[in-house]
Structure 1
């Protein structure tokens, strides 16, 4: 494995690599079971890609340091995305929206580097609650272990309602 470094995301230069990582992130989220896999894979349409790109651009225009990427000699291999403070009022706390590291780079300490950057960024946000929150699928044991090892603690439970339900 080559040396990898963390740096601030550049929307123009890094978008193609970020999209590849985002798609891998979504497919991995869906890998817990077949019905989930189908739903996550089906959402990765050209329209979703364009919408996500616009949303990321909006976030970066509001907060240029909200996304940190990990780059090695071959390109981007990971990222962490902390929502801009004006979006974070959803939970009145800093929100870690996404963290993803390519499988070949897991166990290398880079996840901790990304979390260090996310925490430092979140500390700079002025919000009602001095917390960095995220949701993690209980079936994603690997991610749960990373967050637990880093010091995240359970703070409630997210529930969801299926909008397609009768």
Structure 2
């Protein structure tokens, strides 16, 4: 299936919100995201506007995040991945000190009917390509210990378990990383 992969624009905050809400309603959501539909559906529009503004192409070359979306040939948003830039010395979401610059991939989602067509590869090509353009040499992500499907996809994309773990609101998460 043909897909267009591109960065989001700041004006597309409603589409970003709607795709995220669909992702959080997916049957795999409890193993895939560190949040719930109930939590994020309560976020005000200003949250989504800010998220879109800071992770969009419009954020400019100094942005610390970039969200990519996959569009089907009919223009429907069918997948997404977000790359966050982590800088040495900063604190990550667990308040641990980041030891070296790198990328952190989050918010990965592909609609069920579009899974198994290589779309995840294209999303990661864009997300990791943006990190490479930013002169980063390593990427990491977290995946739920029981999410075998996602772990398999990430291994196929070159990610390996680092041994680092944490227990989030949805249970045990494993860190996976790869060289860019």
TM bin, normalised by shorter chain, reads: 0.7 to 0.9
Q: How far off is 1:17 after superposition?
A: 2.2
98, 105, 110: which one aligns with 2:107: 98
The unaligned stretches of length 5 or more in structure 2 are 93-97, 170-180
> Higher helix share goes to which structure?
1
Query: Aligned ranges for residues 142-161 of structure 1 at < 5 Å?
Result: 142-160=149-167
Residue in structure 2 matching 1:56, options 46, 52, 56: 52
| TM-score normalised per structure 1 | 0.76
The Cα shift of 1:87 comes to 9.8
1:109-150 C-alpha deviation (Å, 9 max, x unpaired): 1110011111211112245xx210010112222111110111
1:43-99 residue CA offsets vs partner (Å, 9 max, x unmatched)? 023325542431332233253981211112142111111014569943432111221
Question: 2:84–2:106: 8 Å Cα contact kept in structure 1?
Answer: yes
**Partner in structure 1 of residue 70 of structure 2:** 70
Matched, 1:113 2:122: yes
**Taking structure 1 as reference, are residues 87 and 98 closer, same or farther at Cα in structure 2, changes over 3 Å only?**
farther
- In structure 1, runs of 5+ residues without a counterpart are none
Distance 2:126 2:5 in 1: 9
Q: Secondary structure at the match of 1:55?
A: helix
The answer to whether the 8 A contact 1:65-1:121 is kept is no
d(CA) in 2 for partners of 1:121, 1:75: 23
Between the aligned partners of 1:71 and 1:64, the Cα distance in structure 2 is 23
**Higher deviation after alignment, 141-150 or 91-100:** 91-100
